[in-house]
Amino acid sequence: MGLVLGLNLSHDRAAVIARDGVVLCGIAEERLDRKKHSVVTTADGSYLASMPQKAIDYVLAAAGASLADCERIVAVGSVVYHPDRPLRNLAAADVAAQLPGFPADRVTVINHHLAHAVGAFAASPFTEAAVLVADGAGNVLADRGPGRLIPQVEHTTFYHARWGEMRELSKVASLPRSLNSLGAFYELATRFCGFGAFAEGKTMGLASYGEPALVADWIRAIRLGDGLRYEIDPTYQTFDRRGRMIPRTFVRRYGSPRHYSEPLRPIDRDIAFAAQAALETALVEMARRLREISGCRHLVLAGGVALNSVANKKIADQAGFERVFIVPCAADDGTALGAALWPHFDAGREKAWVMRHAYLGKAYPDASIEQELEKHTDVLVWSRPADWLERTAARLAAGEIVGWFQGGAEIGPRALGHRSILADPRHPEMKDRLNERVKYREAFRPFAPAVLAERAGEFFDLAGESPFMLLVAPVKQPAAIPAATHVDGTGRVQTVTAADNDVFYRLIAAFARQTGVPVLLNTSFNLAGEPIVETPQDAIACFLKSEMDCLVLNDFVVEKRHPELSRELSRQYRELLTVRQKVVAQEAELESIRRSRGWRLLTFFNRWRNR
């Protein structure tokens, strides 16, 4: 199919470019515009319909191409919100209007869940599999009947995939008075706990601190029907029929939501626990039914719900599939992957690519790194020792916190050894040190372990690989790696192989030779409230305003001339973060208003149309 540019214009905007079914490059817009999730409005006020221009320029440059060289541009359908108009789907005209000079007849828009499914299935090693897509919301479904109080929007879709064919088995969409969304179900708990938008990972971490008192009620809220059908009690959904983010019936039952500035309450912990347990129960049963109906031995998971690594492990262990693949960019950035691969897949051409690793960004050569370092000679000093890996491992073993920048960046929200902050997992206090000096995030959130793949079985109850850090497994030796062990005795594991990440593998192996432990604590290279770093410039800026001890850019080992300056910058950043949290909370409220007005307007439109 030649060169195809895949685009997601929703939240987590992204661009992926492929040639003849082989992915060349991919990146989320947030890595370049430095805005978490990169949610913006268009010139006419539409929300979730804006071109990821920086990402487009980035992937075209990486491919050595121009827009005119693209045989086709495929964008992903999603719900477009506007404060004064009914909800609608993104259309090809929306895309073409933002690409002046590009032929409109070479622009295609495909269904949102289809894009999730194709991207994840094409990335998997399978040629046949069951596919489960679950998220907050996909496309408005115009064919699902008029007169709905809340529009029919897809939330969960089940497929039987063979290469070249994506056969839909069942689709769960909005109910007349409820979103009926697993994503919105979990988002409700997240909002109630005061975490705001796109913070479901915090809820997952908090769940381990809760008690099971509320679990039965939350499990009953997801009513499983025949086959692959389910309904969710409207009380347990974001947005009731009057557009309230948290339904009044929920507040009557559980009390008022927590304000982000207030300390966590027992009810917050218990609701996080209950939401997690209910989601796991429903997903495992639906996956089990999907296996029976499809007859497939393998399962592919996609959609934002597939970032719930605790639930993923339960599915892998209990649903009866031989193998489960979860795409690392499971949220909406991953739909750009499906869009880029859709023409090749739809044409039935031979499968040409499998995602063995997530490093779809471009690498930065030594010359560009040195050029950037030369701009900071007053505050940085660096060297390039021949034994830089052994020296870095020794620094880690001595308790230092290291910024680690190698090769092309990962696609998706997980740092997998190319844009990472690393530390020694053997020291119980390391988690608190990381939070206080670098990450500035909540103490209840765990840090992840990265382990040599061939030794993973010594430390984790894990069958097979977990290269994308999307499976949470019990830790067999928690006393050996306490800083990477969560309060419930688990870890979100990344298995590392030499074939897929040679430099990171050799670093962990060097650490193992020095300490006897083939595990490093691995967290994303960013500060709280910021996207993961993309460029050497981003990495240096992050290094300077945090209390990291060392920065490794390719084989450049970088230190600070004046560490006390970073301590002061770190203090100032924490103060700025407090202000930023207020802004984020206000933006979340504006998002709620936009979306609720959209629901109300479509309700009015449907009623008027069916008078």
Task: Quickly list DSSP for 340-396.
Answer: HHHHHHHTTPPP----S----S----HHHHHHHHHTTTTTEEEE--TTHHHHHHHHH
Name the pTM for this structure.
0.93
Over 60: is that where the pLDDT of 593 sits? Answer: no
Instruction: Kindly provide the b/e burial profile for residues 408-426, where b requires at least 16 CB atoms within 10 angstroms of the residue's own CB.
Output: bbbbbbbbbbbbbbbbbbb
Closest by Cα among 153, 205, 209 to 182: 153
- Beta strand 448-452 pairing with 519-524: antiparallel
46-55, 198-207, 578-587, 588-597: the lowest-pLDDT one:
588-597
In the block, tokens 């029907």 appear at 225
Q: Is the dihedral of CA 561, 562, 566, 569 positive or negative?
A: negative
Same fold, 1-116+335-355 and 366-561: no
Read off the pLDDT of residues 118-174 as tens digits, 9 standing for 90 and up: 999 999 999 999 999 999 999 988 655 444 445 689 999 999 999 999 999 999 998
Average pLDDT, the chain: 92
Instruction: Kindly provide the b/e burial profile for residues 467-501, where b requires at least 16 CB atoms within 10 angstroms of the residue's own CB.
Output: bbbbbbbebbeeebbbbbbbeeebbbbbbbbeebb
371 CB-side CA count, 13 A? 6
- Beta strand 380-383 pairing with 402-405: unpaired
Cα separation, 70 vs 7, whole angstroms: 13
Over 90: is that where the pLDDT of 600 sits? Answer: no
Cβ distance 459 to 484 under 8 Å? no
Q: Which CATH superfamily is domain 366-561 in?
A: Carbamoyltransferase, C-terminal domain (3.90.870.20)
Read off the pLDDT of residues 289-342 as tens digits, 9 standing for 90 and up: 999 999 999 999 999 999 999 999 999 999 999 999 999 999 999 999 999 999
Q: What is the enclosing helix (H) or strand (E) of 293?
A: helix 266-294
In order, the DSSP letters of 468-533 are TS-EEEEBS-TTTSGGGS-TTSEEEEEEE-TTT-HHHHHHHHHHHHHHS--EEEEEESS-TTSPPP
Q: Which residues contact 259 (CB under 8 A, 6 or more apart)?
A: 194
Give me the long-range contacts of 578-585 (CB less than 8 A, separation at least 24): 580/529, 581/260, 581/261, 581/529, 584/196, 584/197, 584/529, 585/196, 585/260
Spell out the domain ranges in the chain.
1-116+335-355, 125-326+567-611, 366-561
Compute the CA torsion angle 427, 429, 434, 440 (nearest 10 deg).
Answer: 160
In the block, tokens 């499998």 appear at 354
Q: Tell me what pLDDT residue 589 has.
A: 61
Q: Is the dihedral of CA 95, 99, 104, 107 positive or negative?
A: negative
pLDDT band at 86 (very low <50, low <70, confident <90, very high): confident
Domain 1-116+335-355 part of CATH 1.10.1060.10:
no
Over 90: is that where the pLDDT of 111 sits? Answer: yes
Report the CATH architecture of 125-326+567-611.
2-Layer Sandwich (3.30)
Could you tell me the maximum CA-CA distance found in the chain, to the nearest angstrom? 78
Q: What is the enclosing helix (H) or strand (E) of 563?
A: helix 563-609
In three state form, how does the secondary structure of 107-146 look?
Answer: EEEECHHHHHHHHHHHHCCCCEEEEEEECCCCCECCCCCC
Cα separation, 28 vs 31, whole angstroms: 6
Cβ distance 445 to 474 under 8 Å? no
Closest by Cα among 230, 327, 330, 218 to 280: 218
Cα separation, 543 vs 484, whole angstroms: 22
